[in-house]
Amino acid sequence: MRRHLGLLFALAIAAFAVAGAQPAVESKAKPILEVDGLLFRDLNGNGALDPYEDWRLPVAQRVEDLLSRMTLEEKVGQMLHPTFIPRPDGSPPPFMEKWMRDLGIGFVLVRDLPGARAAAECMNQLQEWCEASRLGIPVVISMDSIHGLSYVNGGLVYPHNLGLAAIGDVELVRELVAASREEHLAVGVRMTLSPNADLATEPRWGRVYECQGEDAELAAALVRTQVETYQNGKGLNPESIITCVKHFPGAGPQMDGVDMAPIVSTLETLDYHLKPFVAAIKAGTGSVMPYYSIPLALDMMAALGSRATLQDLLREKLGFTGIITTDWGMQFGIRQSGDFIGREISNDEALVIGIADAGVDVIGGASPRDIKDTVRLVEEGKIPVERIDDAVRRILEAKFKLGVFEDPYVDPDLAGEIVGSPEHQALSLEAARRSMTLIKNDGILPLKGMERILVAGLRAGDMDSLTGGWTSKQDGVTIVQAVEAAAQGEVYYVPDDPQEAKRVAQEVDVAIVVVGEPAYQHNPPWGASTLELTSSQQEMLEAIHETGTPIVVVVLLARPYILTWCAENAAAILVAYLPGTQGGIAIADVLFGKVNPQGKLPVQLPRSMDQVLQQRGDLPFDIVDPLYEHGFGLTYEG
């Protein structure tokens, strides 16, 4: 018996079959079959139940059946992972229909969604187009969700990893990620390009804020917890979000802190940087992302194209059996990494062949135009078809385990209730509060009886500065807004005029000066060559200091900045990291004593750039006599 559904159809039956209970089955573009009283999606529309459509069969059998039906073009399409940005209303651009229905793209990375309902509707449309394809293979939609559902406005956006390391509480991280997993599932995002398992041993590197600190044991515990929680246990299942742990084999020790520069380490220190990755692999992470950089201890080729890195180390020594996904812009990255060692790489064809030979399964940031060129390389015998089948086999296995062949659709109404719920925002606020790290206090904090308060600095009025990189525009409360709400008296805000700040400072009881870099992703606005505050921020601090008004410095710390002047001249210093959408409230709660600070520095803070230049980028805790030591943090009790 065959049923054709033009409208949404979703049924779950209590009957049991050989492999277990009837799963929920939903179809929008293809028929649903009823066989022995059970329901199956007729994904190829042939009116018969084929093995890959039969959820009762073992995953391996379904994979082999589907693989045998796919053309070479369809197989290559499954290996691509391009990015798309929805239209302002959240709907997918029209060209995505061709990507999904005609080209069979296997993965897409999504960014910048205006809200939960729009996100769910967008994902549903993509899956409907996939269902309409020849074989009906669903797409896996991913997000650079480094710290929550960060590319959906109103979603859970908690502190970046450096802030979580300042808390050091595995159970709190488990709660945060469980809430994030619930939000990902609600909108139909089934893969997160996280967690970041890099270690913050090179303070100049722009991506320190994404790291879990410089303590490998703590980082391993945090990474393991994130993998297990996102994936709902060890391995993949219908309630999993695939984790893509990055950036193998540990991108923390970038030469001179320059992104994509060679990874400078010895085999001994490489083992230290591998610890969080080993924890992730043991936890069953579904994917690993190698970096652009050359791991000098292993090879003279960028990690994402290195057999020594991906086959000898990742596959054979560490036993990883999941999907290897390249970082985005791999061809540019490999060329850039080659430039550092004086090797010119100009042949795109050779790059693709080398990456395939190294064992990459999914090409991040690939263009659908790459299908034709890759097919040609296979037909010419330059890439073995067995290498393609090997990659696609892993991809299909993951998709079957996720359950998206039975039901890839989500409920937009439910997504609106789950995403950014009051319970989730309360959890984010708790994390932001607990991450706050007080490193100096001459007794001025908590602020009491202050009738007039100056807040100074551009970062104080900027929401993006709280959420940091890998985040779309978010609604929330800025630092200055939170201070205004918490203060008993008048609050004056001067964003960027030192002389105006100096004038106002003469009339107030205390000045709160917010410092740090503007939000960024890879490359820090101040450059890798310095960790010192900008001249404008320093001028602001010194102008206010000339008035004799006590200064409380709030540091939005993306990297270990040099705060020596602040330590010598400010009355208090609060390190807030990049605390997420609830960060403004959390900062005010600590400043005014509603919450007792309890965070501990997850990195050393240097006294000077000379100290930074003297330390080794691959070693933890090796700054001699730092300004503030790793693990330091004050409370109001002592």
Residues 499 and 564 in one domain: yes
Dihedral angle, C-alpha 251, 179, 582, 596, nearest 10 °:
-90
pLDDT in tens, 335-377: 777 665 555 555 678 778 888 999 999 999 999 988 999 999 9
Residues 22 and 114 in one domain: no
pLDDT in tens, 269-327: 999 999 999 999 999 999 999 999 999 999 988 898 899 999 999 999 999 999 999 99
Count structural domains, the chain. Answer: 3
Residues 117 and 9 in one domain: no
The confidence band for 10, taking pLDDT boundaries of 50, 70 and 90, is very low
567 lies in some domain: yes
60 lies in some domain: no
pTM metric for this prediction = 0.95
Q: 3-class DSSP state for residue 244? A: strand
Residues 477 and 376 in one domain: no
d(CA 117, CA 551): 44
pLDDT at 581: 99
Q: What mean pLDDT is predicted for residues 247-259? A: 97
CB atoms within 10 A of CB 525: 11
In the numeric block, the tokens 């969080």 are attached to 276
Classify residue 105 as left (phi > 0), alpha (psi -120 to 50) or beta. Answer: beta
DSSP, res 465: H
105 lies in some domain: yes
- Find, among 636, 538, 633, the residue nearest to 592 by Cα: 636
Q: Residue 19 pLDDT more than 50?
A: no
**What is the domain extent for residue 346?**
69-417
In the numeric block, the tokens 């599932």 are attached to 185
Residues 350 and 232 in one domain: yes
pLDDT at 438: 99
Instruction: Report in angstroms the alpha-carbon separations of 192 from 142, 184, 216, 436, 530.
Output: 6, 9, 22, 26, 32
624 lies in some domain: no
Query: Which H helix or E strand runs over 17?
Result: strand 16-17
Cis peptide before 249 (omega within 30 of 0): yes
Beta bridge partners of 110: 84
pLDDT in tens, 32-71: 999 999 999 999 999 999 999 999 999 999 999 999 999 9
Residues 80 and 37 in one domain: no
CB atoms within 10 A of CB 108: 21
205 lies in some domain: yes
The confidence band for 16, taking pLDDT boundaries of 50, 70 and 90, is very low
Instruction: Report in angstroms the alpha-carbon separations of 106 from 74, 371, 582.
Output: 9, 12, 35
Residues 411 and 482 in one domain: no
H-helix segments, 341-471 = 348-358, 370-379, 385-402, 412-418, 422-435, 463-467
Residues 401 and 481 in one domain: no
- Find, among 230, 217, 119, 238, the residue nearest to 168 by Cα: 217
CB atoms within 10 A of CB 21: 12
Q: Residue 637 pLDDT more than 90?
A: no
Residues 44 and 192 in one domain: no
In the numeric block, the tokens 């809430």 are attached to 179
- Find, among 589, 626, 623, the residue nearest to 430 by Cα: 589
pLDDT in tens, 420-430: 999 999 999 99
577 lies in some domain: yes
More confident call, 638 vs 586: 586
